């Protein structure tokens, strides 16, 4: 694990506060995702070994998760005036520039966590999203949790294919 990635901690098992539990699970998954990319060199991080999914690489997954958090939590949930990171084509959030490295992509993802946390500060699970929508903060967080968990599964395989590392 990279030295700037926090230690993973399982969420509270005797949970009595839904929003706290959701945030703890999201944090756990965020750290897991970043840990899967930490320590890869740029070639390993850019490796897209699935022929039918040529944009799916470890760095691409983190770039996509950064875009997911930006859009759903900061913009829709919190109403932040930030640019979307989706881009013009459907695969734009999965792509990275030649100067990006696993470390820089991790740092960008971690910076987005902070934006997300600020965007939802003081918001309750039953509150509607800041952008007029039919969703609540609860829905936004649950959606981002499932999206992150799904992509952590992809990162398990991508990391193993990149350097043989296995583990949760």
pLDDT one-digit tens code per residue, 69-94: 999 999 999 999 999 998 888 889 99
Distances (CA, A) of 105 to 15, 65, 108: 32, 10, 5
Q: Is the pLDDT of residue 2 over 80?
A: no
Q: Phi/psi of residue 89, each to 5°?
A: -100, 160
DSSP state of 8: P
- Per-residue pLDDT, averaged over 34-55, amounts to 95
What per-residue confidence (pLDDT) applies to 1?
Answer: 41
The answer to whether the Cα torsion of 141, 122, 10, 1 is positive or negative is positive
User: 16 falls in which pLDDT band (50, 70, 90)?
Assistant: confident
- Rounded to an integer, what distance in angstroms lies between the CA atom of residue 120 and that of residue 78? 5
Q: Are 85 and 66 in contact (CB under 8 A)?
A: yes
- Angle between helix 58-68 and 137-163 (nearest 10): 170
| CATH code of domain 18-163 | 1.20.120.450
pLDDT of residue 167: 78
Average pLDDT, the chain: 93
Contact indicator for 22, 138 with CB cutoff of 8 Å: yes
The per-residue pLDDT for 3 is 53
With beta carbons less than 8 A apart as the criterion, state whether 137 and 129 touch.
yes
Whether the per-residue pLDDT at 162 is higher than 60: the answer is yes
Does 64 score more than 70 pLDDT?
yes
pLDDT of residue 11: 82
Confidence of residue 63 (pLDDT cuts 50, 70, 90): very high
Neighbours of 80 (CB within 10 A): 17
> Worst-scoring range by mean pLDDT, 2-6, 45-49, 67-71?
2-6
Phi-psi region of 25 (alpha: psi -120 to 50; beta: other; left: phi over 0): alpha
Give the pLDDT confidence of 85-126 residue by residue, as tens digits: 988 888 899 999 999 999 999 999 999 999 999 999 999 999
Cα 120–chain centre separation: 16
């Amino acid at each position: 694990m990279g030295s700037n990635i926090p230690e993973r901690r399982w969420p509270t098992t005797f949970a009595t506060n839904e929003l706290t539990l959701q945030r703890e699970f999201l944090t756990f998954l965020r750290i897991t995702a970043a840990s899967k990319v930490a320590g890869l060199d740029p070639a390993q991080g850019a490796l897209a070994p699935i022929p039918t999914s040529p944009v799916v690489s470890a760095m691409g997954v983190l770039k996509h998760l950064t875009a997911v958090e930006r859009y759903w939590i900061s913009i829709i949930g919190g109403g932040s005036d930030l640019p979307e990171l989706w881009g013009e084509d459907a695969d734009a959030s999965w792509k990275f520039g030649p100067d990006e490295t696993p470390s820089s992509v991790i740092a960008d993802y971690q910076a987005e966590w902070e934006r997300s946390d600020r965007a939802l500060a003081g918001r309750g699970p039953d509150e509607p999203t800041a952008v007029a929508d039919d969703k609540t903060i609860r829905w936004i967080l649950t959606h981002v949790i499932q999206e992150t968990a799904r992509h952590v599964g992809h990162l398990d395989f991508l990391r193993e294919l990149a350097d043989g590392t296995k583990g949760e």
